[in-house]
Amino acid sequence: MLIKISAVAVTVLQIAGFAQAAAAAAATEKSSSFVIGDYWKSFKSNVDPNNIKIADIPQTISDDPITQCQYYTPPSNFNFDPKEWPNLWETATSNGMTNTAEFKKIYNAIDWTKAPKIAVRKAGADGSLDMTGYDQSGDPDCWWSASTCTKPKLEGVNEDIYTCPEPETWGLTYDDGPNCSHNAFYDYLEEQKLKASMFYVGSNVVNWPYGAQRGQKAGHHIADHTWSHQLMTTLTNTEVLAELYYTQKAIKMVTGVTPKHWRPAFGDVDDRVRWIATQLDLTTILWDLDTDDWAAETAAAEKTVRKTYDDFIAMGKDGTFKNSGQITLTHEINNRTMSLAVEFLPKIMAAYDNVIDVATCMNITNPYQEDTVTFAPFSPAGSKNATASKAVSSVASSAASSASSVAASVSASVKAPSSSPSPSNVNSVSAQNSVEASAGVQVNPNHVMMAIFAFAAYFI
């Protein structure tokens, strides 16, 4: 009888052991399954964002645009293999990227059944968006290009940032970098202790990695500006995802940080594109003032841009922004836009209490996925930009010198070889797949066996 009891006990022990092993295997599989919110953890960057060293080569120390824009070997901490990236300045699905295991993993981790059923837009022969048949007044899709809508009309989509809430604040932003010839411009920003939100194009980041690293080293707010600078609403879901994903990867691999913010080229975004960006934990940053500086290609056009700058500066003096601030769209696209920025920044600093990046004006202290890089909370300037107002002439003198360096050439472009003119809280999108231990009774196989023997000893 005891032998039978022992056999039964051993059998029960084995069954319990199998069950425990199966449960453990299931838990391991569940906990190791890929979650889209963790996509950035797959980027294995060799760059320490808090300890970036820029090599002293002609391209990084010269103010001559031609010298700066000569090809150079990428830094040793960024290994660029063209086979692993989309073609430069082509839609990010190029070079077979959608067929890679890497991209399929990202794409398949998204529940596309929840994606908004919004049609892909069309562009006309002249490149402008075709809004034929679209209800622009009702704007059901929160299509910024149609109505400048910034508040999504769908649940679970990150709301746009388009203005700074802090009074008397100029939100400093520059699109289309890193420009290969920006040394004098970045020198000036550093001299004036100015930080800006830099919206980097993925193709530029891998093409001019030292330029992107300098932006991070200087403490600017680095953000995503897509891989190839296209009208995002005219792209398919797959193309939108690729444009954002590969720019995120480029910025991470080159600078060591993964942005939480992005800006669509030309501001072209709707709730379909926002939803896809939200899957990558990206929040859209737009603007409420536009200098149109990219258009300053002729004397007449530049005169208009200058007038626009003057008008915006006047708003900082006449009380327009006494209760809240603004975000201004400007560009790093070429030496003309950068020289204009350097020329007008002293006046901007004199007119506004705060000239700061968007992350700071929104009091966002963690603008990246990585918690190793943080921003200081917003701190009011107190007086009317004391540094600028007390020494405008000194700053202007410095600006004139820097503008002279920047304006040495106006032919350097965002992409090589031709230019590409550009007409608070972030919701987490990752599902938590962690396995929680039960708070109830937990059964151990050994306990089962002991119970059986106790039963046998008592009744037999």
Could you list the active site residues? Answer: 175, 331
Cα 456 to Cα 460: distance, rounded to the nearest angstrom:
5
Between helix 237-255 and helix 101-108 the angle, nearest 10°, is 120
Burial of 31 (0-12, 13-18, 19+ CB in 10 A): exposed
Which residues touch 433 (CB under 8 Å, ≥6 apart)? 30, 31, 33, 35
DSSP classification of residue 161? B
Q: What DSSP letter does each residue of 279-338 carry, written as one string?
A: HTT-EEB--SEE--GGGTTSHHHHHHHHHHHHHHHHHTTTTTTSS--EEEEEE-SSHHHH
- For 62, counting Cβ atoms within 10 Å of its Cβ (0-12 exposed, 13-18 middle, 19+ buried), the class is middle
Q: What is the identity of the amino acid at 232? A: M
CB-based contacts of 371-379 (< 8 A; 24+ apart in sequence): 372/49, 372/50, 373/49, 373/50, 373/256, 373/257, 375/221, 378/166
Q: Residue 447 is encoded by which pair of tokens?
A: 């306990």
Report the C-alpha gap between 431 and 250 in whole angstroms. 25
- The residues near 267 (Cβ < 8 Å, ≥ 6 apart) are 144, 145, 148, 286, 287
